[in-house]
C-alpha cells in the first residue's frame, strides 16, 4: 500500500467546507479501529484515512499551503500507514486523574515493548516501537507510543483466510487480553493486509 500524496488532500479552502462531514466520517472509522486493552490502555490502528485526517488537521492548524511544507507533513505521517504486511497502531495510556497518570507512567516503563498481536496458529508478534524517537526514560514512559507489528507472509495469508486475531499486554504492572478481537476491528485489520 502506498502513502498519501498531495493529490489525496483537500486544499485549505475545500477542507474548511468539508471538515464537519469528513471529521464525522473519520471519527466513526476510528471507533471501528480502536481496541481497549483493560481500563487504561488502548490501541488505535492507523491507516490512510486516519493519517489523511491528521495531515489535514495539521495543515489547517498551521495554515500550510506551500507544496514543500505540505510534503514535509506527508513525510512525517506516511510512515504510520500500514504497508500490507504489517499493522501500525498508536498506543495510548489514559488516566483522567493527573496524579494517577503520573504514577502509572512511572510504573509502566517498557509497556510499549510487551504489547502483542497474534494470528491464530502462530506465535505472538511484539512491536517495533517508537521508530521516530525515544519516548521512554528509565523513570517513566510516555502516554503515547507508535507501534509497528510485522507479519510473515503465512500470517497475512491466514488472517486473510479467516484466522482469529487476538491482542494483549504482558507487563508486570499491567496485563490485559482480548481474544478474539471484535469482528469489526478484525475486518478492518484484515483489509489493511495484502497477500504477495
Res 196: pLDDT: 66
Domain membership of residue 85 as a residue range: 6-191
Are 165 and 118 a contacting pair, CB within 8 Å?
yes
Q: Which three cell numbers stand for residue 113?
A: 515493548
- Specify the 3-state DSSP secondary structure of 67: helix
pLDDT score recorded for residue 91? 97
pLDDT of residue 56: 98
Q: Is the peptide bond before 180 cis (omega within 30 degrees of 0)?
A: yes
For residue 8, how far is the Cα from the chain centroid? Answer: 20
Q: Are 60 and 12 in contact (CB under 8 A)?
A: yes
Q: Is residue 86 part of a domain?
A: yes
Q: Is 115 part of a structural domain of the chain?
A: yes
The three cell numbers locating residue 21 = 462531514
And the C-alpha cell for 75?
Answer: 513525510
Task: Tell me how far CA of residue 156 lies from CA of 66, 167, 171, 189, 190, in angstroms.
Answer: 39, 16, 27, 10, 8
**Is the residue at 82 inside a domain?**
yes
Ramachandran region of residue 110, left (φ > 0), alpha (ψ -120 to 50) or beta? left
pLDDT (tens, 9 = 90+) of the chain, 196 residues, equals 569 999 999 999 999 999 999 999 999 999 999 999 999 999 999 999 999 999 999 999 999 999 999 999 999 999 999 999 999 999 999 999 999 999 999 999 999 999 999 999 999 999 999 887 677 788 999 999 999 999 999 999 999 999 999 999 999 999 999 999 999 999 999 999 998 6
Residue 137: per-residue pLDDT = 81
- The domain tally of the chain equals 1
With respect to residue 168, please indicate whether it lies within any of the assigned structural domains: yes
The C-alpha cell that represents 103 in the structure block = 504514577
For cell 484484515, name the residue: 190
Burial class (CB in 10 A: 0-12, 13-18, 19+), 2: exposed
Within-domain flag for 128: yes
Tell me, yes or no, whether 1 lies in a domain.
Answer: no
Does residue 196 lie within any of the structural domains? no
Alpha helices in 132-180 (DSSP H): 153-160
Whether 44 is covered by a domain: the verdict is yes
pTM of the entire structure?
0.93
Amino acid at each position: 500500500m502506498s502513502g498519501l500524496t498531495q493529490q489525496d488532500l483537500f486544499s485549505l479552502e475545500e477542507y474548511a467546507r468539508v471538515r464537519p462531514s469528513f471529521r464525522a466520517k473519520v471519527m466513526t472509522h476510528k471507533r471501528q479501529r480502536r481496541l481497549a486493552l483493560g481500563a487504561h490502555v488502548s490501541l488505535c490502528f492507523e491507516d490512510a484515512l486516519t493519517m489523511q485526517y491528521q495531515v489535514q488537521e495539521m495543515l489547517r492548524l498551521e495554515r500550510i499551503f506551500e507544496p514543500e511544507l505540505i510534503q514535509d507533513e506527508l513525510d512525517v505521517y506516511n510512515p504510520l500507514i500500514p504497508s500490507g504486511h504489517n499493522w501500525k497502531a498508536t498506543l495510548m495510556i489514559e488516566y483522567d486523574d493527573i496524579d494517577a497518570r503520573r504514577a502509572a507512567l512511572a510504573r509502566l516503563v517498557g509497556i510499549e515493548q510487551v504489547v502483542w498481536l497474534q494470528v491464530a496458529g502462530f506465535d505472538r508478534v511484539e512491536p517495533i516501537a517508537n521508530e521516530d524517537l525515544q519516548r521512554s526514560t528509565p523513570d517513566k514512559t510516555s502516554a503515547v507510543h507508535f507501534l509497528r507489528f510485522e507479519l510473515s507472509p503465512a500470517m497475512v495469508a491466514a488472517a486473510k483466510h479467516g484466522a482469529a486475531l487476538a491482542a494483549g499486554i504482558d507487563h508486570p504492572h499491567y496485563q490485559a487480553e482480548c481474544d478474539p478481537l471484535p469482528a469489526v476491528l478484525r475486518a478492518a485489520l484484515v483489509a489493511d493486509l495484502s497477500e504477495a
